[in-house]
């Protein structure tokens, strides 16, 4: 469903991503791993339109999306979370859920901000993550883990087909990690496709059906979790080359 | 409309009634003048608030649109004989159109760069008005005929009254528009932009479109107010109407009352404008009112950093909450 062809992005002299190609199958949970600075987040930002790639193309359902605005890409059906959770801090949890609701046309733009049926849907999703009782609280009053869940639930309001999760388990306690993994699996069963950046290897290996490994802005390996775990190139990228490891 | 009235209906009713009968019971020209200026300050601060309060983009240059409205109305009056009380509502849309273009350019900047760009806007408008002297009469300014209707000028005792009512109408429309925007999807999007623009874009809000529209709407009411103002004084010149201080004052009033709230800018205007006039009246035309303005703002910022209205409503909510918690305990 998503195809990335030979894309590159440099910041000044630093090549964050260079000539990287990868694809995400519809209905899959694909993992994207690699050491710090390997270009995972830059790749995310290019897919979601935050950085225009220097070269290469990105196709969503065979349509090029590399020159679209982030908002347009969101309307095409890609939702994302951020590595460091981003919410509208001084808005209530419910408002955070309502902002992503997709709407078109001038009449709707000036219609009631929070509609009854939208509120019901938002409460349903908040129920899914167990946060209904906080719907009227300001987002910044929630705990770190709860904020992650709100961000995740809010993405679902725009009903994306492909969901990009940037470190969903970062800084989250084990119970919450289980909860997030359960949610991702359930949603995957319902037909949502996921691309997940994560450093928690247990989560990646358990959750993902397919894994792509980046290093220095290039894809160095891909395959099933078991194969990746034993791939010498991947081990070298993470742990350094064998001579160094021996020293 | 119903929802606006249902929550604050009583207070709005009392305030509106007071403003409706004000010129009938207060015959002093001076107080009538101050009231017109106060309502105008409320219009300016409220319409600035649509962009500066809701979307969080601090423009110090909205005096440009105020002045543009003033010039358009004065020119249309002198050249075509269009009565300002009628023309200002339509010429406001010209101001809106200009603002959409300028917004589209200036809103590519953020934070302090945006502030500087908007200040530059005022100076550019002033320069144009100074140099297009065959149209604008340059530095000598434009004079309009004495206010009246159907060729009959209003008597000196009556002259402030029509301005009182047209400014009241404009104030009501501005507040209604501001409320309507705040309640809408559009307003929700503007607040989201203020909170985190990148995130807003990521969840599907066309942030540029929202910002440019907010810029345009806030300029419309500015332009209409400028039109009425130019007729009120019957004389405008570039120095006087394209004044950065006008732009700064409306911002300070909005911040004082409560930036980003519906009623804060109105409250701020009804505090600062009469106070400023009283100070000028008492201490003469020195610049002391600016000092006092700064002092009041300093005190408010120290003790109520969000502005007067949000601090008060927070305090009331806290007390209500405390009351509710106490109630069940034996």
The verdict on B4 touching A (C-beta cutoff 8 Å) is no
* Contact map slice: A 82-101 vs B, CB within 8 A: 82, 86-91, 95, 98-100
The answer to the question of residue A183 being in a domain is no
**Which pLDDT belongs to residue B207?**
95
What are the tokens at A43?
Answer: 């790749």
Residue B94's nearest CA partner among B114, B117, B71, B62 is B71
- Which residues are within 8 A (CB) of A36 and not within 5 positions of it... i.e. 6 or more apart? none
For residue A22, is it within any domain? Answer: yes
Average model confidence (pLDDT) across chain B: 91
**Count of alpha carbons within 13 angstroms of residue B172, beta-carbon side:** 15
Please check whether residue A14 lies inside any domain of the structure.
yes
Indicate whether B77 pLDDT > 60: yes
Question: Are residues A43 and A147 both part of a single domain?
Answer: no
**Residue A108, both tokens:** 């709707």
Kindly report which listed range (A13-17, A28-32, B122-126, B206-210) carries the lowest average pLDDT score: A13-17
> pLDDT tens for residues A26-36?
999 999 998 88
pLDDT beyond 80 at B98 = yes
- Six-digit token pair at A178? 């289980």
In the predicted model, what is the mean pLDDT of residues B6-35? 90
Nearest to B188 among A72, A74, A98 (CB): A98
Asked if the Cβ–Cβ distance from B205 to A69 is below 8 Å, we say no
Residue B38, pLDDT > 50, answer: yes
Report the residue from A72, A88, A158 with minimal CB separation from B199. A88
Same domain, A130 and A102: yes
Minimum Cα–Cα distance from B207: chain A residue: A71
Least confident span in A37-41, B61-65, B166-170: A37-41
Mean pLDDT of B72-85: 95
Q: How far apart are CA B242 and CA B141, in angstroms?
A: 12
Q: Which domain holds residue B201?
A: 17-245
Query: Are A72 and A8 contained in the same domain?
Result: yes
Dihedrals phi, psi of A15, to nearest 5 degrees = -85, 100
Q: Which of B184, B192, B204 sits opposite A158 (nearest CB)?
A: B204
Least confident of B62-71, B143-152, B160-169: B143-152
Q: In this complex, do B203 and A98 lie within 8 Å of one another by their Cβ atoms?
A: no
A60 lies in the same domain as A165: yes
The HSE-up count of residue B53 (CA atoms within 13 Å, CB side) is 33
Q: Could you tell me the residue range of the domain that residue A59 belongs to? A: 1-77+161-171+191-247
Partner-chain contact B189 A154, CB within 8 Å: no
Residues in A closer than 8 angstroms to B207, CB to CB, are 71
Number of CB pairs, chain A paired with chain B, less than 8 A apart: 80
Q: What mean pLDDT do residues A192-205 have?
A: 91
User: Do B255 and B294 form a contact (C-beta atoms < 8 A)?
Assistant: no
One domain, residues A11 and A68: yes
Q: Interior CA angle at B252 toward B247 and B256, to 5°?
A: 155
Closest CA to A29 of A235, A218, A197: A197
Predicted local confidence at residue A246, as pLDDT? 40
CB contact under 8 A, B203 and A100: yes
CA distance linking residue B259 with residue B255, whole number of Å: 5
Rounded to the nearest 10 degrees, how much is the dihedral formed by the CA atoms of A144, A145, A147, A149? Answer: 170
Q: What is the pLDDT of residues A4-47, one digit of tens each?
A: 999 999 998 888 999 999 999 999 999 999 888 888 999 999 99
Please, which pLDDT band fits residue A173 given cuts at 50, 70 and 90?
Answer: confident
Tell whether B211 is covered by a domain. Answer: yes
* Residue with token string 């732009």: B247
- CA B230 to chain A, closest CA, distance in angstroms equals 32
For residues A12 and B130, what is the distance between their CA atoms, to the nearest angstrom? 45
Q: Hey, are the CB atoms on B204 and A75 less than 8 Å from each other?
A: yes
Q: Percentage of residues in chain A with pLDDT exceeding 70?
A: 97
Question: Inter-axis angle of helices B111-131 and B244-257, to 10 degrees?
Answer: 140
Q: β-strand A193-197 against B142-143: which pairing, if any?
A: unpaired
Q: Is residue A141 part of a domain?
A: yes
pLDDT tens-place string over residues A91-105: 999 999 999 998 888
Pick the more confident residue, B77 or B320. B77
pLDDT, averaged across chain A: 90
B255: tokens are 């911040």
Q: How many domains does chain B have?
A: 1
Distance from CA of A114 to the nearest CA of B (A): 7
pLDDT-wise least confident of A117-126, B175-184, B309-318: B309-318
Please check whether residue B118 lies inside any domain of the structure.
Answer: yes
The answer on pLDDT for A136 being more than 50 is: yes
Confirm whether B107 is domain-assigned. yes
Using DSSP, state whether A23 is helix, strand or coil: strand
- A73 and A167 share a domain? yes
Give dist(CA A238, CA B322) in Å, integer.
55
pLDDT at A130 over 80: yes
What proportion of chain B, given as a percentage, has pLDDT over 70?
96
Q: State the Cα–Cα distance between residues A158 and A192, nearest whole angstrom.
A: 13
Three-class secondary structure of residue A61 per DSSP: coil
Q: With 90 as the cut, is the pLDDT of residue B282 above it?
A: no
Asked if residue A147 and residue A109 are part of one domain, the reply reads yes
Q: What percent of chain B has pLDDT over 90?
A: 74
pLDDT digits (tens, 9 = 90+) for A48-77: 999 999 999 999 999 999 999 999 999 999
Confidence of residue B1 (pLDDT cuts 50, 70, 90): low
pLDDT of residue B327: 45
Q: What is the pLDDT of residue A242?
A: 55
- CA nearest to A217, candidates A8, A53, A52, A32: A8
In a domain, B330, yes or no: no
Q: How many CB atoms lie within 10 A of CB B154?
A: 15
Exposure on the CB side of residue B42, measured as CA atoms within 13 A: 26
Chain-centroid distance, C-alpha B36: 13
What DSSP string runs through B183-230?
HBHHHHHHHHHHH-HHHHHHTT--HHHHHHHHHHHHHHHHHHHHHHHH
How many CB atoms sit inside 10 A of residue B286's CB?
10
* Lowest-pLDDT range of A156-170, B137-151, B235-249, B311-325: B311-325
CA distance B101 to chain A (A): 19
Quote the DSSP letter at residue B258.
-
Please state the pTM of the whole predicted model: 0.91
Mean pLDDT of B178-191: 95
Contacts of A99 in chain B (CB under 8 A): 188-189, 192, 200, 203, 205
Same domain, A45 and A153: no
> How many structural domains does chain A have?
2
> Can you tell me whether residue B71 is helix, strand or coil?
helix
Q: How many CA atoms lie within 13 A of B270 on its CB side?
A: 11
CA angle B281, B285, B287 (to 5 degrees): 115
Q: Are residues A119 and A221 in the same domain?
A: no
Measured between beta carbons, which residues in chain B are less than 8 angstroms from residue A91? Answer: 191-192, 195
Per-residue confidence band for B323, with pLDDT thresholds at 50, 70 and 90: low
Question: Does one domain contain both A53 and A167?
Answer: yes
Three-state DSSP at B299 gives: helix
Token pair 């405008």 in the structure block, residue: B236
Look at residue A247 in the predicted model and tell me its pLDDT.
37
Residue A67 domain-assigned? yes
Indicate if the pLDDT at residue A1 is higher than 70. Answer: yes
Same domain, A29 and A49: yes
Say yes or no to pLDDT of B2 above 80.
no
Give me the CATH number covering residue A65.
Answer: 3.40.50.300
Task: Say if A37 falls within a structural domain.
Answer: yes
Mean pLDDT of B274-279: 89
């Amino acid at each position: 469903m998503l195809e990335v062809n030979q894309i590159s992005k440099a910041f000044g002299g630093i090549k964050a991503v260079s000539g990287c190609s990868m694809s995400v199958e519809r209905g899959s949970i694909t993992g994207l791993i690699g050491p710090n600075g390997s270009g995972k987040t830059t790749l995310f930002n290019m897919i979601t339109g935050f950085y225009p790639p220097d070269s290469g193309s990105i196709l969503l359902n065979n349509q090029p999306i590399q020159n679209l605005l982030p908002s347009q890409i969101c309307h095409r059906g890609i939702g994302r979370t951020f590595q460091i959770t981003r919410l509208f801090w001084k808005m209530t949890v419910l408002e955070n859920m309502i902002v992503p609701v997709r709407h078109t046309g001038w009449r709707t733009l000036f219609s009631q901000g929070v509609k009854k049926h939208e509120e019901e849907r938002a409460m349903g999703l908040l129920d899914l993550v167990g946060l209904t009782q906080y719907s009227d609280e300001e987002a910044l009053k929630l705990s770190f883990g709860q904020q992650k869940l709100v961000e995740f639930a809010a993405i679902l309001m725009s009903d994306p087909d492909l969901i990009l999760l940037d470190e969903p388990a970062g800084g989250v306690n084990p119970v919450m990690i289980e909860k997030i993994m359960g949610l991702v699996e359930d949603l995957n069963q319902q037909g949502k496709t996921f691309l997940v950046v994560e450093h928690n290897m247990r989560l990646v290996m358990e959750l993902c059906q397919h894994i792509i490994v980046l290093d220095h802005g290039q894809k160095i390996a891909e395959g099933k979790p078991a194969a990746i775990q034993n791939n010498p190139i991947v081990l070298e990228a993470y742990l350094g080359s064998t001579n160094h490891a021996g020293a | 409309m119903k929802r606006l009235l249902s929550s604050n209906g009583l207070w709005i009713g009392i305030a509106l009634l007071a403003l409706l009968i004000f010129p009938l019971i207060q015959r002093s020209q001076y107080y009538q003048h101050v009231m017109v200026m106060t309502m105008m300050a409320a219009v300016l601060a409220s319409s600035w608030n649509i962009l500066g309060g809701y979307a969080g983009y601090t423009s110090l240059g909205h005096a440009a649109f105020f002045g543009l409205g003033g010039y358009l109305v004065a020119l249309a009056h002198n050249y075509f004989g269009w009565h300002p009380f009628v023309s200002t509502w339509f010429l406001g849309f010209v101001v809106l159109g200009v603002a959409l273009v300028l917004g589209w350019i200036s809103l590519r900047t953020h934070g302090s760069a945006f502030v500087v760009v908007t200040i530059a806007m005022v100076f550019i408008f002033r320069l144009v008005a100074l140099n297009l002297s065959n149209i604008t009469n340059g530095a000598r300014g434009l004079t309009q005929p004495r206010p009246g209707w159907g060729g009959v000028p209003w008597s000196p005792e009556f002259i402030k009254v029509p301005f009182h009512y047209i400014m009241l109408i404009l104030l009501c429309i501005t507040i209604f528009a501001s409320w309507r925007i705040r309640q809408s999807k559009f307003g929700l999007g503007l607040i989201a932009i203020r909170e985190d623009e990148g995130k807003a874009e990521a969840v599907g809000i066309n942030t540029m479109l929202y910002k440019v529209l907010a810029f345009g709407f806030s300029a419309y009411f500015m332009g209409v107010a400028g039109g009425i103002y130019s007729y009120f004084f019957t004389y405008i010149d570039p120095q006087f109407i394209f004044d950065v201080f006008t732009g700064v004052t409306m911002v300070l009033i909005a911040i004082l009352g409560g930036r980003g709230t519906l009623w804060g800018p109105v409250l701020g205007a009804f505090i600062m404008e009469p106070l400023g006039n009283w100070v000028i009246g008492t201490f003469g035309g020195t610049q002391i009112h600016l000092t006092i303005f700064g002092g009041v703002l300093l005190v408010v910022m120290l003790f109520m950093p969000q502005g007067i209205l949000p601090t008060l409503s927070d305090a009331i909510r806290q007390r209500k909450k405390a009351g509710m918690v106490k109630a069940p305990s034996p």
